[in-house]
Structure 1
């Protein structure tokens, strides 16, 4: 009997140890990235997997949205705001064994600024005048003008530091300096990262992390309940939240994102080049109904391209209130008393597909008849984002502090108003927080008045994961699923 009891106790201890030793993680994500190089692609799904995990920049954006030291352990800024001296970490290596030093910073930024650069956020580097390698551990960057957001901008995924020897192949075989190394990409199924045993900083507490691509909400619920995944940083099925909340195996964490979800409008194409047509659309949109219908009430209606939780937020809900009679009158004034036909191209995320159905129904009430065209993510990037071959679309812009995209005349919705560009120049030069916020409010009001896009809602973040999983971010201030502090607990 004693031997039996001892055996049972030993088995229990071993089981407990095995459970405590869990160091692998499987997360569900809605979208498969088109490639794995954050310096050569606009898709948020790229940064979700590799930002902070595989690749690092001079700075990194933390859970609060603040810029923190990363490969630059510290820095000094001149009084005129033009010179930044970055002191780099020493002893860091790339995953291919190459030593990291100041020459890699210069290479990465020169590459991003080059005429043939494929960097989707090349504008981040435009303020840079010169980059000087002072010594292997020191970089001096001189700007053309003071740029208050420079440290924050260097924390974007587009500004990560890459190894010259592997830069050309990062799209399929990413090599960074981060706490995880690229393991495997099973196309159409999953991406696996492995712990970097030679990481220069605080080591990861996970040995392996797998991102499984599950775009269908029904399949997501089945995978979660069956234990095929440990959680979803962005739960795609808000209607099932009550069911998951009632299950003691899981935590449901509500947070916010930087995702302004918009009815993207091709303002360079008739009839959307007419302000009155865009104003009519703005009056026709019942934003709360869109949130309720597409997101089951999870999300915040917006009226410009700026998050409601931001310090420069201004309530512009009175600018174009829901008013169908006003919308019809504006359409008639624009020469469309009977409305018109147009297309609505929708990428795969549920917010777009579900939201598109609601938006189409609302615009139909004022005579705008939309043909809904579902497209895959790669098609959206090629046709809409790059080719500008669209009338309307729905997409969530998840980049932080991204109102500056409206200053780019070649951006997919084609705005680039000179007065707005001037505001962005003022914003770049401002270093005082209050001055920046005042400019941001002016910018937000200008694009709202011009109804550049149909502003729908701020994408909410629903995190669902096992109760014993800790370190996951509640909010999403940047396009990342940062696993650097994620761990399992007893």
Structure 2
């Protein structure tokens, strides 16, 4: 099904929703920046999809809300074999799946659902493996290289067996692409001849169920009345409002205006330039904190002249990063040189950004046989992210910088979903991309975005393949000694910097304006932003 038809069909199948006046008082309205690229997070690497999945789905493990500790979720406990190859999970009893149009669950969550969810991604012979996107980027990059099997021991026990140790596995299992889907729902949709429905009309075990989705407009969720957290009294994981509404608002200024007026109660990814006005508004609280992020220009090494390190380095010297930080981040970012951000262990503080030096840039271009420069396209990220507050403005500054050394950059952009799709296909020459870590281990973004294997899968947007760097990441993932792992990540960062694998911008501060009637909202730095545990004062 084409994407426009998909969204139209989904909106119709879930039905438009008008909240009654009584329910509106219990609603939490969040202004978000863009539509999700997928409703099934197994296919995505983007926070827009993760934010939806964080409400609807759950995973075996979780990251504590607003923190970095890995805690039990659908798995109540686990044991790890001495050789680090077998993880045995005891599953939570009495967990209910949501209902959907054409499906009402007849049983509780059990081991079959874990086996189905992981098996779908791992086994090419699984009938659902090619349904939907068929590209399980997170699983393929982070879990699959060490994954051997998943088996049901009994209804409430599963075992994951690895072919080699995978140190951050428990953390990786907490991320939205590892969400647990209903095997019973999948079987029912396969029998009905509509297997793709499981990806378009999500059924999970989360504290909210998805009620309706209108692309580029709204996403509406309903609190699940019998969610397992109520039985155990876990208020932090419980839906505390009856309705949750994402109002998709691409313009950061409009998001801020809506939170000021009360049209929404939380505004995601505001413009840094609005921070003084936010702080001056007595109706708003400003939450702020450091995030683990990576924001960069990807020089597509699969296209000339970007396969030449001298050209990449020339463009690094030609880019006035401090000016970009002043104009775009407006005091909320610090120039980055290391591929691992300061918020994570193994960050290499010895590395320093290349200074702005147009003359050195010209010399490197002459050395590379391009004394008169060249012409290229520069993709500007079309949405506001914490790691890149204003892609268009940053692109304009880069365009002006490069013109001074003879490089003509033509700025292009696309709708966010199209931007991501084309980026995965490697259509860019120079593209603006970024990531935030989904769990507190350096391995995740490095493995998913910067390996030789990632060049083939499309996750390595730069097309950079340094085998020594890839081998260092691979080895670091198989050992448990953190000091030894840190040495390998340090070597990776040195190679990244030496090769100019990407031109890093800044490590950013995240901040969110929240209306004061909202209680216990916490900025969540890893994975999708949860809105359970949040209430609205009457």
Instruction: State the TM-score, normalized to the length of structure 2.
Output: 0.83
- Is contact 1:396-1:459 (8 Å) kept? no
CA distance in 2 between counterparts of 1:210 and 1:200 reads 22
Which residues in structure 2 correspond to 1:26-41 (within 5 Å)? Answer: 26-41=29-44
Which residues in structure 2 correspond to 1:125-204 (within 5 Å)? Answer: 125-126=143-144, 127-167=146-186, 168-201=196-229, 202=234, 203-204=238-239
The Cα of 1:165 is off from its aligned counterpart by 4.1
**Structure 1 residues 170 and 292: alpha-carbon distance in aligned structure 2, compared to 1, 3 A threshold:** farther
The Cα of 1:124 is off from its aligned counterpart by 2.4
* Range 270-279 or range 338-347, more displaced: 338-347
The Cα of 1:391 is off from its aligned counterpart by 0.6
CA distance in 2 between counterparts of 1:65 and 1:289 reads 33
Which residue pairs with 1:403 in the alignment?
A: 446
Match of 1:261 among 295, 315, 329: 295
- Is contact 2:112-2:183 (8 Å) kept? no
* Aligned partner of residue 201 in structure 2, secondary structure: coil
Which residue pairs with 1:367 in the alignment?
A: 406
The Cα of 1:22 is off from its aligned counterpart by 4.5
The Cα of 1:143 is off from its aligned counterpart by 0.6
Which residue pairs with 2:137 in the alignment?
A: 120
* Aligned partner of residue 429 in structure 1, secondary structure: coil
Matched, 1:229 2:275: no
CA distance in 1 between counterparts of 2:293 and 2:473 reads 20
Which residue pairs with 2:15 in the alignment?
A: none
**1:300-336 CA deviation, whole Å, 9 max, x = no partner?**
2211322122111112543623222222111111111
Which residue pairs with 2:511 in the alignment?
A: 462
**1:396-452 CA deviation, whole Å, 9 max, x = no partner?**
212433111211232332123221221112111111222222221111121111101
- Is contact 1:128-1:142 (8 Å) kept? yes
CA distance in 1 between counterparts of 2:241 and 2:498 reads 48
- Is contact 2:33-2:268 (8 Å) kept? no
* Aligned partner of residue 261 in structure 1, secondary structure: strand
Which residues in structure 2 correspond to 1:357-396 (within 5 Å)? Answer: 357-385=396-424, 387-396=425-434
- Is contact 2:111-2:155 (8 Å) kept? yes
Matched, 1:426 2:475: yes
* Range 276-285 or range 116-125, more displaced: 116-125
- Is contact 2:259-2:515 (8 Å) kept? no
**1:337-362 CA deviation, whole Å, 9 max, x = no partner?**
11111001223124322221122222
* RMSD of aligned residue pairs (Cα, Å): 2.0
CA distance in 2 between counterparts of 1:45 and 1:259 reads 15
The Cα of 1:42 is off from its aligned counterpart by 2.9
CA distance in 2 between counterparts of 1:213 and 1:413 reads 29
Match of 2:57 among 51, 55, 58: 55
* Range 23-32 or range 435-444, more displaced: 435-444
- Is contact 1:266-1:414 (8 Å) kept? yes
Which residue pairs with 2:500 in the alignment?
A: 451
User: What are structure 2's unaligned runs of at least 5 residues?
Assistant: 1-20, 100-104, 125-129, 187-195, 385-389, 439-443
CA distance in 2 between counterparts of 1:367 and 1:48 reads 42
**Structure 1 residues 489 and 434: alpha-carbon distance in aligned structure 2, compared to 1, 3 A threshold:** farther
* Aligned partner of residue 205 in structure 1, secondary structure: coil
Matched, 1:220 2:243: no
- Is contact 2:62-2:71 (8 Å) kept? yes
Instruction: State the TM-score, normalized to the length of structure 1.
Output: 0.91
CA distance in 2 between counterparts of 1:174 and 1:316 reads 46
**1:99-142 CA deviation, whole Å, 9 max, x = no partner?**
21111111111111133442121222211112111001111111
Match of 2:527 among 463, 479, 489: 479
- Is contact 1:233-1:481 (8 Å) kept? no
**1:425-480 CA deviation, whole Å, 9 max, x = no partner?**
21111112222222211111211111011111123312111112122223x42231
Which residue pairs with 1:14 in the alignment?
A: none
The Cα of 1:213 is off from its aligned counterpart by 0.7
The Cα of 1:40 is off from its aligned counterpart by 1.8
The Cα of 1:392 is off from its aligned counterpart by 0.7
CA distance in 2 between counterparts of 1:280 and 1:170 reads 48
CA distance in 2 between counterparts of 1:295 and 1:230 reads 24
- Is contact 1:261-1:397 (8 Å) kept? yes
Which residue pairs with 1:11 in the alignment?
A: none
* Range 348-357 or range 172-181, more displaced: 348-357
